[in-house]
Amino acid sequence: MKLTRRAALSGIAASTAATSASALPRSKGAAYPVFASTWDFGVAANDAAVAKLAAGGTLIDAVEAGARVPEADLSNHSVGKGGYPDRDGHVTLDAVIMDDRGHVGAVAALEDITHAVSVARAVMERTPHTFLVGEGARQFALANGFGAENLLTPEAEQAWRDWLRTSQYKPVPNIENRAPGSINNHDTLGFIARSTNGSLAGACTTSGMAFKMHGRVGDSPQVGSGLFVEAGVGAATATGVGEEVVRIAGTARVVANMRAGASSGAACREAVEHISRLRGDALKDSQVGFLAMDRHGRVGAFALLPGFTYAVSGADGRSRIFRSPNLTA
């Protein structure tokens, strides 16, 4: 199904009520919790979330638990401890967490703290703010009991020193799954979830592009770009080249498409097609993908290039990996 922007806007115009999403009732849908996350390594994140919810945790607890898995995975070079540094040799982390009632917390350019998603949750719950960055985010984390540690592992440092020989900055499409099923290539974790009562939540965590400019922040921690959640409508997350997602407030656009009546998959496709039209040849060899879940827990995805995969939990709590459709198909 091809959803044009005109069709989406027509659907909005045809609506006879301007009911806010926060006023919508919880939806009946899947009779079991649904977790969806980006890339093959999302299976481990989903498993942790399922276990947390089964142990009596809230949906936000589960989402946080899932996001913490790749953050602690030293083989994961684009999330948390072990992430590749920026071009100055600093590992800087970005993360956001959000529920469907407007509660949100985010951090960016955070150094020395492994679990950026947990710091983001602390911002959400312990401050009047939604976003802390840089040294301010680090000071907040330390003041709230998060321990400081060196995030630059020997392997990541060696990769940085090797990169310095050429200093070539070129993101590699689908490096996350270069070897199918491999645990050695990863990207941002985008994570979205729905409870049995229809509540929605999500998180996104990353160390950003390897060898980025110091201070660079991509889409991941930005509400409406890397993640967006809206009660009664759905949730969406993004992956790939963050600058391209930011240009169109990608996940906010995907959720708006679902609000206008599009399925989760069609909503993702419209956003990808829009980026493609907008950027043209500037997108050559770049990957951008969206993953979305509607209010019933139905999951869809779409990407610019082949190779984007995502994991979705089922009624038995186990996750399956799916290949996203793409513009080249």
Tens of pLDDT, residue by residue over 142-160, are 999 999 999 999 999 999 9
User: Can you give the pLDDT at residue 28?
Assistant: 64
pLDDT, tens only, 48-82? 999 999 999 999 999 999 999 999 998 888 899 98
How far is 53 from 46, CA to CA, in rounded Å? 11
How far is 269 from 189, CA to CA, in rounded Å? 20
pLDDT, tens only, 240-292? 999 999 999 999 999 999 999 999 999 999 999 999 999 999 998 899 999 99
Question: Which helix (DSSP H) or strand (DSSP E) does residue 288 occupy?
Answer: strand 288-294
CB atoms within 10 A of CB 259: 20
DSSP code for 152: -
pTM of the complete model: 0.87
Q: Which of helix, strand or coil describes residue 117? A: helix
Question: Which helix (DSSP H) or strand (DSSP E) does residue 51 occupy?
Answer: helix 42-54
Q: What φ, ψ does residue 195 adopt, rounded to 5°?
A: -85, 170
Please give the positions annotated as active site.
188
User: Whats the size of the chain, residue-wise?
Assistant: 329
Q: What φ, ψ does residue 44 adopt, rounded to 5°?
A: -65, -40
Question: Which helix (DSSP H) or strand (DSSP E) does residue 194 occupy?
Answer: strand 189-194
User: Can you give the pLDDT at residue 170?
Assistant: 59
User: Can you give the pLDDT at residue 171?
Assistant: 55
CATH architecture entry for 27-323: 4-Layer Sandwich (3.60)
Q: Is 80 in contact with 70 (CB distance < 8 Å)?
A: yes
How far is 200 from 57, CA to CA, in rounded Å? 14
Please state the domain extents for the chain. 27-323
Q: Is 193 in contact with 201 (CB distance < 8 Å)?
A: yes
Please give the order of strands across the beta sheet that includes 234-240: 227-230, 234-240, 288-294, 299-303
Crossing angle of helices 134-143 and 116-126, in 10° steps, is 80
CB atoms within 10 A of CB 154: 8
